[in-house]
């Protein structure tokens, strides 16, 4: 497939960053995949052209110069959420006028609860355009030609249409989004639901994943509404539409983390839900919205409460007169 001469850069060479590089090359674009010079992931990709998830196409240039990476027409960012502010400060040192950025990340700033688009806008003070790329996808499935549907969202319909025209294909069918609050909060929160699901799996309580799926969107939709977003967004692809890939998939890092955590084992890979739950607790207090599932996960991870006791207490609380 060869669309045009558009140059694409991906900042971040982890699982999803390398997957986006693979996909952008699949679309026929000129692609740079940026990583820090001392990053072992970047060094491995530059040397072997592969990681545990995929083989990089020969057309993808592995780059360690941020300045060269920022010369692209469209720049995708796919790093861990807590590193975004520092990276944006670095990015802002270079001329960026008219660049198009896409945040391909799911998380919230741990200490402030701020959405990643807010963090970006606080640190990038140049005239650039910004969108978010969210929804269910696993690199292992994408590279095996298993299609999925995702969301491209921004505050400008024209920008969203342009980016969908650039990245849509028979592998990824995009839906248009405009509610950044609902999309970003929902996408981040689904990782916390994934941790909860993994905990239930690890404790032999997988039958409670049904109630988890029913109750999770309700508490997150209440938060989104309180923050000024649209409740219905939570029931779209960025939150509940991502449940199968997060609450059930063997590829889900958050589900795996939850399962290994309650079994007393270490999980070495990135599970964004660990920091996201702290951010959601912050937002819960700020907007005076109860988030029982998030609070339960936080009690288990941060306060070291007994997982089975906390989760049974969560699901067998006194019945409220509320329809789900």
What is the predicted pLDDT for the residue at 70? 98
Q: What is the mean pLDDT of the chain?
A: 95
Domain with CATH 1.10.1040.10 in the chain: 180-315
Domain with CATH 3.40.50.720 in the chain: 7-177
The class (CATH top level) of 180-315 is: mainly alpha
Summarize pLDDT for 124-143 with one digit per residue, the tens: 999 999 999 999 999 999 99
- 3-class DSSP assignment, residue 131: strand
What is the predicted pLDDT for the residue at 2? 55
Name residues whose C-beta falls within 8 Å of residue 4's C-beta, 6 or more positions apart in sequence.
28, 29
What is the predicted pLDDT for the residue at 25? 97
What is the predicted pLDDT for the residue at 153? 97
What is the predicted pLDDT for the residue at 4? 76
Q: Which two tokens stand for residue 60?
A: 């993808």
Please, is 44 exposed, middle or buried when counting C-beta atoms within 10 Å of its C-beta (0-12, 13-18, 19+)? middle
What is the predicted pLDDT for the residue at 3? 61
- Domain 7-177: CATH superfamily is NAD(P)-binding Rossmann-like Domain (3.40.50.720)
Name residues whose C-beta falls within 8 Å of residue 261's C-beta, 6 or more positions apart in sequence.
195, 198, 199, 202, 267, 300, 301, 307
What is the predicted pLDDT for the residue at 165? 97
> Residues in the chain with pLDDT < 50?
none
Rg (C-alpha) for the chain, rounded Å, is 19
Closest Cα to residue 123, out of 75, 154, 96, 85? 85
Specify the DSSP class assigned to residue 263. Answer: T
- d(Cα 92, Cα 13) in Å, to the nearest integer? 20
Q: What are phi and psi of 153, to 5 degrees?
A: -135, 145
Give the active site residues: 190
Instruction: Say which residue the tokens 């807010």 belong to.
Output: 118
């Amino acid at each position: 497939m060869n669309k045009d001469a558009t140059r694409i850069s991906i900042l971040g060479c982890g699982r999803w960053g390398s997957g986006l590089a693979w996909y952008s090359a699949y679309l026929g674009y000129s692609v740079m995949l940026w990583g820090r010079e001392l990053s072992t992931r970047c060094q491995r990709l530059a040397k072997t052209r592969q990681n545990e998830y995929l083989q990089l196409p020969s057309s993808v240039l592995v780059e360690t110069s941020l300045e060269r990476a920022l010369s692209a027409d469209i720049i995708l960012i796919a790093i861990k959420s807590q590193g975004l502010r520092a990276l944006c400060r670095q990015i802002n040192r270079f001329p960026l006028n008219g660049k198009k950025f896409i945040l391909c990340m799911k998380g919230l700033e741990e200490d402030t609860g701020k959405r990643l688009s807010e963090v970006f806008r606080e640190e990038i003070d140049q005239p650039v355009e910004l969108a978010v790329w969210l929804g269910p996808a696993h690199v292992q499935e994408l590279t095996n030609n298993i299609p999925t549907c995702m969301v491209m969202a921004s505050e400008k319909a024209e920008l969203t249409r342009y980016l969908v025209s650039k990245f849509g294909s028979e592998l990824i069918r995009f839906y248009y989004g405009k509610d950044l609050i609902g999309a970003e909060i929902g996408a981040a929160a689904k990782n916390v639901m994934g941790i909860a699901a993994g905990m239930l799996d690890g404790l032999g309580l997988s039958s409670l994943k049904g109630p988890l799926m029913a109750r999770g969107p309700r508490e997150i939709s209440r938060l989104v509404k309180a923050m000024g977003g649209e409740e219905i967004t939570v029931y779209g692809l960025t939150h509940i539409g991502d449940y199968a890939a997060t609450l059930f998939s063997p590829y889900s890092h958050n589900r795996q983390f939850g399962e290994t955590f309650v079994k007393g084992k270490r999980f070495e890979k990135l599970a964004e839900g660990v920091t996201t739950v702290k951010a959601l607790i912050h937002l819960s207090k700020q907007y005076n919205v109860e988030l029982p599932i998030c609070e339960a996960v936080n009690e288990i991870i941060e306060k070291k409460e007994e997982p089975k006791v906390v989760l049974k207490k969560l699901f067998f609380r006194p019945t409220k007169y509320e329809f789900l």
